[in-house]
Structure 1
Amino acid sequence: MTTITTHTVEYPADGLTMVGRLALPAGAGRAPAVLIGPEGPGLNDFQRGRADALAELGYVALAFDINGGRWFSDPQEMLAHTTPLLADPDRMREIGHAALDVLRAEPRTDPDRIAAIGYGTGGAIALELGRDGVDLRAIATVNGLITGRPGEAARIRCPVWAGVGSEDPIMSPAHREAFTAEMQDAGVDWRLVVYGGALHAFHHPDVAQDVLPGVGHHPVHARRAWDDVVALLAECLPLPVTT
């Protein structure tokens, strides 16, 4: 296995001290980089592990924070925090830009080759960075099909991939239709994968069925969705060929 280096990084955003996970690939040169945004409860070992997995592939990866180091185990407390956040594109952009600044400041990062991926709320933040005109090479959102303010999707400058479960009541067919209409009307290079039989947060191995109605893990589709995200990065943010 490739040797990687990981660091805990603290930085200010949204009036909080965020606590992220920075993972660096082996070697000393610059590498393409990926932001990884967590779902509403916060950053936990799942997304930290995603950062590590991307570093093992050869990317600089930052799993960023949205809750000031907290993980909301109470779903009502989580909703009280994330619902107003998801309704405020400027707040989401502030959180995303703060993380992006940390990633760009890392000497190993190639600042011209950055992608943003995210789950739920983190995916919505990745999309808002695109709508804000950030020069990204790719955007991926799993379970985060949040439409933006009218006309702003035209500022997205890269391919967008989205994944959602067919039985997800939170990201309903109406959400899917609104999202795809927004992307299509803006002329974005977009794709949507609907994973049959999957619920909301199907990607997360530790999610419990009783957290919220319509939430549950689907191990097969979780693996497929990760493979699809990695394939998007390989297409849009290819790693240097080593010999």
Structure 2
Amino acid sequence: MRTSIMGALCAIAMVASAHAAVKEEPVTYTDGETTMKGFVVYDDATQAKRPGIVMVHEWWGITPHIHTEARKFAEQGYTAFIADMYGDAKTADNPKDAGALSGSVMKNPKVMEQRFNAAREQLAKQASVNPQRIGAVGYCFGGAVVLNMARAGADLAAVAGFHATLGLNTPAPAPGAVKAKILILNGADDPFVKLEQYDALKKDFDAAKADYRIIEYPGAVHAFTNPEATELGKKFNLPLRYDAKADQESKAEAAKLFAASLQK
């Protein structure tokens, strides 16, 4: 019995140690005009350089959801950089303000590109990062950002958009211009994404000969990776709902994409 207890305690200690190794540090930077406040998240138990992933938040801004997702990527062997797309780490606690913040970026492609590229540059200069192996992940609004950056030919090996809105505000890419492998992970019942948006996206990516996949999860609606989505949906009468199955399956698909594209 004593041996079993000691073994269990050792196991718990090892798990705690593993989690304690993941560090999260604030990073203040600029897009040339605006002060941004992001975060770098990495496992400091590993000394070797590793791939990096730029992470773009939902329309609410930098919330606990994006921090949790960044830690998961750090535990998988990446350095994650949480980009601040609104400046000064602004957040919204209601849909009206969230729409205003996200709209201020999506309606101005120059601002979107400047802020994303500034975050990518910060990630690339981190001591823990191999700057030749960088990808991007976005959720909701952030999904639209990373898809637009892929369309714009950003220097990314792979991008994954979770419950990505499909507002395309960058010019249609020329053949061969898209460098990233693209994965779109959306709810099949997401009312925020229209069939004609999928058609337009496919048309552009096919013409550009882009490497892309779209996976839709039956029964899933918007924000299915966010455990707080169901309560937010009820609070604001929005079609938001956490879906554990879609969350797990989509994360597994993204893990495969990044392992193949960044860990080779």
Shared fold, TM over 0.5: yes
Q: Which residue of 2 aligns with 1:91?
A: 111
Q: Which residue of 2 aligns with 1:229?
A: 254
Report the Cα distance in structure 1 between the residues aligned to 2:186 and 2:141, rounded to whole angstroms: 13
Please state how far the C-alpha of 1:106 moved relative to its aligned partner: 0.6
What are the Cα deviations for residues 116-152 of structure 1, in whole angstroms up to 9, with x where unaligned? Answer: 1111221222223323322211011112233344432
User: Tell me, what secondary structure is at the counterpart of 2:186?
Assistant: strand
Q: Which residue of 2 aligns with 1:162?
A: 184
Please state how far the C-alpha of 1:160 moved relative to its aligned partner: 0.4
Alignment of 1:142 with 2:162, yes or no, is: yes
Aligned residue among 145, 152, 159 for 2:173:
152
Q: Could you say if the C-alpha distance between residues 41 and 16 of structure 1 is closer, same or farther in structure 2, counting changes exceeding 3 Å?
A: farther
Aligned residue among 233, 254, 259 for 1:209:
233
Aligned residue among 52, 64, 67 for 1:48:
67
Q: How does 1:50-89 map to 2 (within 5 A)?
A: 50-67=69-86, 68-89=88-109
Q: Which moved more, 1:27-36 or 1:64-73?
A: 64-73
Percent identity for Structure 1 against Structure 2: 25
Aligned AA for 1:44? Answer: T
Q: Which residue of 1 aligns with 2:38?
A: 20
Report the Cα distance in structure 1 between the residues aligned to 2:237 and 2:126, rounded to whole angstroms: 37
Report the Cα distance in structure 2 between the residues aligned to 1:184 and 1:41, rounded to whole angstroms: 32
Aligned AA for 1:227? Answer: A
User: Tell me, what secondary structure is at the counterpart of 1:101?
Assistant: helix
Q: Which moved more, 1:122-131 or 1:53-62?
A: 122-131
Report the Cα distance in structure 2 between the residues aligned to 1:88 and 1:143, rounded to whole angstroms: 22
Q: Could you say if the C-alpha distance between residues 130 and 86 of structure 1 is closer, same or farther in structure 2, counting changes exceeding 3 Å?
A: same
Please state how far the C-alpha of 1:42 moved relative to its aligned partner: 0.5
Alignment of 1:37 with 2:37, yes or no, is: no
Q: Could you say if the C-alpha distance between residues 55 and 117 of structure 1 is closer, same or farther in structure 2, counting changes exceeding 3 Å?
A: same
Structure 1 stretches of 5 or more lacking a match? none
Normalising by the residue count of structure 2, what TM-score does the alignment of the two structures yield?
0.84
Aligned residue among 186, 190, 204 for 2:208:
186
Report the Cα distance in structure 1 between the residues aligned to 2:174 and 2:53, rounded to whole angstroms: 21
Report the Cα distance in structure 2 between the residues aligned to 1:161 and 1:137, rounded to whole angstroms: 12
Q: Which moved more, 1:227-236 or 1:123-132?
A: 123-132
Q: Could you say if the C-alpha distance between residues 174 and 160 of structure 1 is closer, same or farther in structure 2, counting changes exceeding 3 Å?
A: same
Q: Could you say if the C-alpha distance between residues 212 and 66 of structure 1 is closer, same or farther in structure 2, counting changes exceeding 3 Å?
A: farther
Please state how far the C-alpha of 1:215 moved relative to its aligned partner: 2.0
The structure whose residues are more often helix, as a share, is 2
Aligned length: 239
Please state how far the C-alpha of 1:185 moved relative to its aligned partner: 1.7
Q: Which moved more, 1:63-72 or 1:100-109?
A: 63-72
Report the Cα distance in structure 2 between the residues aligned to 1:86 and 1:138, rounded to whole angstroms: 21
